[in-house]
Amino acid sequence: MARSDAGGDRHARRPVHFVAAVAPGAVAAWAPDREPERYADGEGHQIVELYARLRDRGLPVTIGPQPPRGALVVMSADHLVSWFGHPRRREQARTARLALAGHGLVVVLGDHPHPGRLPDYAGSRVAPTPTAARADPRSTWLPLLPQRALVPRDPARRGSVRTLAIKAHADNVPPGYRDPDVARRLGALGVELRIDDAVAAWPDFSAVDAVLCVTQPQPRWDAGRSLPRKPPTKLVNAWAAGCVPLIAPQTGYLDLARPDEDAVVVDSPAAVLAQVERLVGDPAALARIEAGVAARRPEFARDVVTDRWVTYLWAPDRGPPDRAAAARGVVGATADALRHRWRRPSG
């Protein structure tokens, strides 16, 4: 059932349009909680699913290559700049023309490694972490939507840690946690280590007691382990599922968590083993953290997160686009495209 929102008249005044590399007709019929494996990449999470959630509320949203007149246009950073830092010339020229025509722009950064290479006319930005938002006056931090089709932890499992899960793509799981000795030593504590690296396994937290929120740094993009470009999605999912988060000392996690109250900080497999042993052997410590998780859980429920995006996207004081920057962008992107064309060998 579509959720009604206060201020519906305000919402009706301006459409919001999402730009994504998808077939609009297919997305129009997509139900995220019935088909969670579709659109499971970054753009699918940041853009396509958000469109679907707002569509299901009956709000004036569209998706596709061409926005309706007067629409606020929302896109991912990858739409404008590749992950290798190269400008997407055609899309930058098209986006600059939209801004020049009066469309407001919102760019969702996600975990894109090159936010500094976005063009100036790229308007408002949704930063991956509160720290990143504080560093850029154009940016606002909003949590991304929690795991679609999420099945929360069975409440009967509270008070024990029997399963520790990592839910991530295979290449994002640090190799140290695949060491059989880690699983063996956890097993000796009565805890199963479960590595869910298939998208189909991500929604189900029903038999998960604790979630290991870790990411493998990518040498091309990441200088250290703080990973300031990574949104705290694993932590949000753990809280939304009612599971105890064991978090790496990453910027996004530390921005939100209260260590030893609603999360446990770990920086190595050895630290994970020590903290799990503590939680298994100290029911009072586990109960305190579970109570903290229960307090944070409503903050990141899907409807609450969606409400925050509604407030942001339909903010009445959102300023007009920077048309001077857009005009420079049109000229620059067009000239860049022409230079690129003339450089290509003929024949």
Instruction: For residues 256 and 253, give the distance between their C-alpha atoms in angstroms, rounded to a whole number.
Output: 6
Beta carbons of 110 and 79 less than 8 angstroms apart: no
Instruction: For residues 129 and 140, give the distance between their C-alpha atoms in angstroms, rounded to a whole number.
Output: 9
Backbone angles phi, psi at 311, to 5 degrees: -60, -40
Q: pTM (2 decimals)? A: 0.92
Q: Specify the 3-state DSSP secondary structure of 16.
A: strand
**Residue 92 included in any domain:** yes
Q: Which residues of 67-87 are buried (b: 16+ CB within 10 A; e: fewer)?
A: beeebbbbbbbbbbbeeeeeb
Instruction: For residues 200 and 58, give the distance between their C-alpha atoms in angstroms, rounded to a whole number.
Output: 28
Kindly state whether residues 225 and 205 are assigned to the same domain. yes
Kindly state whether residues 204 and 75 are assigned to the same domain. no
Kindly state whether residues 107 and 226 are assigned to the same domain. no
Domain CATH number, residue 230: 3.40.50.2000
Kindly state whether residues 296 and 184 are assigned to the same domain. yes
**Residue 3 included in any domain:** no
**Residue 43 included in any domain:** yes
- What residues make up the domain containing 126? 8-145+303-343
Kindly state whether residues 283 and 197 are assigned to the same domain. yes
Q: What string of pLDDT tens digits covers the 347 residues of the chain?
A: 445 454 445 555 789 999 998 999 999 999 999 999 999 999 999 999 999 999 999 999 999 989 999 999 999 999 999 999 999 988 998 999 999 999 999 999 999 999 999 998 888 999 999 999 999 999 999 999 999 999 999 999 999 999 999 999 999 999 999 999 999 999 999 999 999 999 999 999 999 999 999 999 988 888 888 999 999 999 999 999 999 999 999 999 999 999 999 999 999 999 999 999 999 999 999 999 999 999 999 999 999 999 999 999 999 877 677 778 888 877 877 776 666 666 655 44
Of 195, 161, 196, 200, the C-alpha closest to 179 is 195
Kindly state whether residues 185 and 243 are assigned to the same domain. yes
Instruction: Indicate the number of domains in the chain.
Output: 2
**Residue 173 included in any domain:** yes
Query: Locate tokens 């060491």: which residue?
Result: 179
**Residue 253 included in any domain:** yes
Beta carbons of 225 and 294 less than 8 angstroms apart: no
**Residue 1 included in any domain:** no
